[in-house]
Amino acid sequence: MSPAMSLHADLLGRLQAIARVQLVARLQDDRLNFPGANELHVFIPDIHLITAARRVEGGYQYGTNHPVLLEAVVKSLRALKLASAPAGEVVVYQIGDLFDLWRQVDGLDPNANAASAIQNDQASLLAALRDPDLNAQFLLGNHDYDLYRFPNFDAWQRSFVLAPSVMLLHGDVFDWVEKLPAELKNLVLFLFTASHPAGTADLEKLRPLNNKQRGGRKFRDFIQNQAPAPTGKWRETSDDGGSWNVQVEGTAPKEMLLYLDEARQKCGEANRQFGSALNMAVIGHTHQARIAVHDTEDEFFTLMDCGAWIENCSTADDPTPRPNAQIAALGANEARIYQLAPLE
Amino acid sequence: MRYASLLLVLGFATGCAVRYPAVVPMREQQFRSHDQAVALPLDQEGRGEVANFLEHGGNRFGRNAAPDAQAAGHKQMLDALAAEGNLKIRASLATPDFCAIALPLCQAAPILRKRMAVTQVIDARNRQPEVPDPIAVCDDEYCWIFRQSNNLLTHLVVVRSVRRLQP
């Protein structure tokens, strides 16, 4: 077993020790061009934290799923990272919308008091996520975009390039990028390159777009999906190889291919403009966990949507809503998405 | 038309002055009361160290006493910080009003009234920003930087403020 396959197995073992784990999707393909034998990249998707008081005050009908389990998962990832070093490297990312400033406050929070309040209210979870030994990397989502304004969040980015082939971003850009005039599209394209990472000035320029997406909505009943998000067919976990529940363009239902084309096109543009070799996008934002591929003779492109820890999902076998609680991992040309639940 | 207006807004937004958040830096050794934050409630020794710092104009290594324009208010503050009951806070309130967060302390130390709570505290000695955020509040010349946990103020460093009053 290669070191990175061992890291996949190690991660699974640790998750199984603290949670009921099911496999949502798995893609094993050398064309991912992400062979890194000694590294595993782990993605924690949207969490949308607000304070308990705000949840009551705002009349929100839903909240973050299984926060106690999430904290246990994060601590387990820290242990995995430390145990794997130095032979293996485990990198953990929280891929945006950790804080839900759009639900915590109306309008702009000019001095980060909302973010601090959430952090104080969810102190142990945030302490675990921001543990220096875990050294989690954070993306700015759309619900916590404004954090770019505050020095304590200077390390948070809008995107990462995981060399050589993977673009990691929250995914909200796909809501609106194709509707933009050319001048703005060019500005956004810089998100898709490692050579010109978006700085504070760029984020300030794009803030009106983020604000426009908020559009005065209150999100009282839902954020992304009023009905449980379809995620295809899950199975129990085992370490036998082989892809599972991959949504292939041309055969999968359209709802399972959301943003596959947008991501492929944007990565293609970036490749042409900046000489990169992006052929995979990893996102959150939609709260719909899936792996989707565009697979033709000329091109192989993958979208991994890591799901969420808020709102619900359903499977092809069972329409019963289940709380989203997903985590994804990538390494050794293999991508996996797991669904977690508390042990009975 | 809609996106033409959006372009206009973008242009306008980038042209206008950006309103930056309030930030409190951890000052150099000379201008901070302690290297390691002193535990709260203040005991005699801790109180003495802060008082000495204030009596020397916020210069820890100063040789000359300097008049403290806010001496009365600072005395009330030090008295207040010695009482455990004054350290309770509501840390999960999303407000810049320091007194809304730390009502008991504000009632005992009026110098803090109508002051802003600042959570963006920069301490370059740290590996990364502290979690949970410290809560800082500045009077006319000093910033009181509190560590907090479980809705209690737990530690304090006082620094000479970098802001200057309007002439």
In the numeric block, which tokens belong to residue A212? 């426009």
CA A252/CA A295 separation, integer angstroms: 12
Residue B95 within any structural domain of the chain:
yes
pLDDT band at B14 (very low <50, low <70, confident <90, very high): very low
Go through A257-284 and write b for each residue having 16 or more CB atoms within 10 A of its CB, e for each that does not.
bbbbbbbbebbbebbeebebebbbbbbb
B7 vs A183: CB contact, 8 Å cut-off?
yes
Q: Quick one: pLDDT at residue A199?
A: 81
First to last CA, chain A: 32
Q: Could you give the number of structural domains in chain B?
A: 1
Q: pLDDT band at B18, cuts 50/70/90?
A: low
Show which of residues 86-125 on chain B sit within 8 Å of chain A, judged by CB atoms.
Answer: 91-96, 116-122
pLDDT at position A193: 76
Beta strands in chain A (DSSP E): 19-28, 39-44, 89-94, 137-138, 159-162, 166-169, 229-230, 235-236, 246-248, 280-283, 290-295, 300-305, 312-314, 322-323, 326-331, 334-342
Domain assignment of residue B15, yes or no: no
Instruction: Name every chain A residue with its beta carbon within 8 A of the beta carbon of B117.
Output: 111, 113
Number of neighbours of residue A1 by Cβ within 10 angstroms:
10
Count the residues in chain A.
344
Residues in chain B with CB shorter than 8 Å from the CB of A53 are: 92-93
Kindly tell me if the per-residue pLDDT of B11 is higher than 60: no
**The pair of three-digit structure tokens given for residue B62, joined into one six-digit string:** 């100063």
* Cα A114-A119-A122 angle, rounded to 5 deg: 125
- Out of A3-12, A296-305, B14-23, B60-69, give the one with best mean pLDDT: A296-305
Neighbour order of strands in the sheet with A229-230: A229-230, A312-314, A322-323
Listed in sequence order, the residues at least 6 apart from A297 whose beta carbon sits closer than 8 Å to its beta carbon are none
| pLDDT given for residue B93 in this prediction | 95
Does the residue B7 lie in any domain?
A: no
Joined together, the tokens standing for residue A270 give 């970036």
Q: Note whether B150 contacts A: Cβ–Cβ < 8 A.
A: yes
Fold of A3-342: Purple Acid Phosphatase; chain A, domain 2 (3.60.21)
A96, A142 in Cβ contact below 8 A? yes
Residue B2 is assigned to a structural domain of this protein: no
Residue pair A71/A39 in contact (Cβ under 8 Å)? The answer is no
State mean pLDDT over A286-302.
Answer: 97
Q: Is B5 within a domain?
A: no
Across the interface, do B120 and A208 touch by the CB < 8 Å criterion? no
CB-based contact, A181 to chain B, within 8 Å = yes
| Interchain contact B152–A (C-beta under 8 A) | no
CA dihedral A73, A79, A85, A91 (to 10 degrees): 20
Q: Which residues contact B156 (CB under 8 A, 6 or more apart)?
A: B33, B34, B37, B38, B40, B42, B46, B50, B81, B144, B145, B146, B147
Answer whether residue B32 shows pLDDT above 50: yes
- Contact predicate A108/A146, CB 8 Å: yes
For residue B130, tell me if it sits in a domain: yes
Contact at CB, A111 and B22, closer than 8 angstroms: yes
- Whether B127 and chain A come into contact, CB under 8 Å, resolves to yes
Cα–Cα distance, A165 to A174 (Å, whole number):
19
Which candidate, A134, A149, A52, places its Cα nearest to that of A94?
A134
Closest by Cβ to A117, choosing from B19, B93, B149: B93
Domain containing residue B88: 22-160
CB of B63 within 8 Å of a chain A CB? The answer is: no
Between CA A170 and CA A293, with CA A11 as vertex, the angle to 5 degrees is: 45
pLDDT value, residue A317 = 92
Side-chain half-sphere exposure of A242, counting CA atoms within 13 A:
7
Residue A202 pLDDT class (50, 70, 90 cuts) = confident
Q: Does B94 fall in a domain?
A: yes
Q: How much is the average pLDDT of A42-56?
A: 97
Interchain contact, B119 vs A155, CB within 8 Å: no
Residues from chain B contacting residue A179 (CB–CB below 8 Å): 3
Q: Minimal Cα distance from A206: which residue of B?
A: B10
Residues of A with CB below 8 A from B116's CB? 111
Domain boundaries, chain A: 3-342
ipTM exceeding the 0.90 mark: no
Phi-psi region of A12 (alpha: psi -120 to 50; beta: other; left: phi over 0): alpha
Window 132-151 of A, Cβ < 8 Å to B:
132, 149-151
Domain for residue B68, yes or no? yes
Burial class (CB in 10 A: 0-12, 13-18, 19+), A72: buried
Q: Which residues of B touch A188 (CB under 8 A)?
A: none
